[in-house]
Amino acid sequence: MRKNIVAGNWKMNKTLQEGIELAKDLQTALSGKKVKCDVIVCTPFIHLASVNAVIDGQTVKLGAENCADKASGAYTGEVSAAMVASTGAKYVILGHSERRAYYGETGAILKEKVKLALENQLTPIFCIGEVLAERESGKQNEVVKKQIEESLFDLSAEDFGKVVLAYEPVWAIGTGKTASSAQAQEMHAFIRQTLKAQYGAAVADNTSILYGGSCNAANAKELFANPDVDGGLIGGAALKTDTFLPIIEAF
Ligand code: 13P
């Protein structure tokens, strides 16, 4: 059966020292606690190896926020999937709307990143989601379906089974405006239906689909109670243990 997951996306926050402290703090807070979901922290590249040293990889798991679309070579400033994996990280966020909007990441580029992540035994946390104008014109399903199709649907069923999806409506990210519980469930059910049509019921049922966008302690319980919402990808509220822990405990 699919897993419940709460993943933190630190984005471009925290110095190395602050990041190590936060990871240590979370590891300590969760140690010996029975939680009903996998907990992942996705950190900037430079934090990965140091954070990996202060978490146990079980109570708290590690991921990156991105990786390159090339395997290796003369790509100054880029970080490959193999390099990410060599730090001990097991996950990588790909296709975040901030990468798509500010760094020109297209569906075709993301398809390469997904392939390289899987080749390096990293689990992609693949983000999809519509902007406000698309939601207002009723195009959200079409947009999300296309994002999934163009970057993921060339994968075999076996490989697709290794992917985690995160639905993040762009209008809800960092805005304090969350999708309603009904809007989230409706989209997640549509995504699962889309997966079922392509890969069959078993793959669709086993895929974890997370919600992201102003998810916090106050709304997590209601969001996660939906049958097709398998957890959250958390931005702002993941930057402090005090605000992240109650989201984890919402399960
Ligand atoms: P916020 O939780 O800050 O809205 O960010 C969501 C997000 O983009 C996680 O990837």
Residue 176 pLDDT > 90 = no
Return the ligand 1 atom nearest residue 172 CA: 4
Q: Are 169 and 186 in contact (CB under 8 A)?
A: no
Q: What are phi and psi of 245, to 5 degrees?
A: -55, -45
Is 94 a pocket residue for ligand 1 (Cβ < 6 Å)?
no
Is 213 a pocket residue for ligand 1 (Cβ < 6 Å)?
yes
Return the ligand 1 atom nearest residue 174 CA: 4
Is 65 a pocket residue for ligand 1 (Cβ < 6 Å)?
no
Cα 200 to ligand 1 centroid, rounded to whole Å: 30
Mean pLDDT of all residues in 201-212: 98
Q: Which domain holds residue 234?
A: 5-248
Catalytic residue among 65, 98, 168, 188: 168
Q: Cα(65)–Cα(224) distance, rounded to whole angstroms? A: 23
Question: Which tens digits make up the pLDDT trace of 132-174?
Answer: 999 999 999 999 999 999 999 999 999 999 999 999 999 999 9
Instruction: Give the closest residue (by CA) to ligand 1 atom 1.
Output: 235
Domain count, the chain: 1
Cα 173 to ligand 1 centroid, rounded to whole Å: 5
Active-site residue 142, yes or no? no
Q: Is 133 exposed, middle or buried (0-12, 13-18, 19+ CB in 10 A)?
A: exposed
Q: Cα(10)–Cα(41) distance, rounded to whole angstroms? A: 8
Is 95 a pocket residue for ligand 1 (Cβ < 6 Å)?
no
Cα 25 to ligand 1 centroid, rounded to whole Å: 21
pLDDT of residue 1: 85
Is 66 a pocket residue for ligand 1 (Cβ < 6 Å)?
no
Mean of the per-residue pLDDT values for the chain? 98
CATH of residue 163? 3.20.20.70
Residue recorded with tokens 């100054």: 76
pLDDT of residue 177: 87
Cα 9 to ligand 1 centroid, rounded to whole Å: 7
Is 6 a pocket residue for ligand 1 (Cβ < 6 Å)?
no
What is the band of 66 on the pLDDT scale with cuts at 50, 70, 90? very high
pTM (2 d.p.): 0.98
Is 215 a pocket residue for ligand 1 (Cβ < 6 Å)?
yes
Active-site residue 65, yes or no? no
Q: Are 26 and 244 in contact (CB under 8 A)?
A: yes
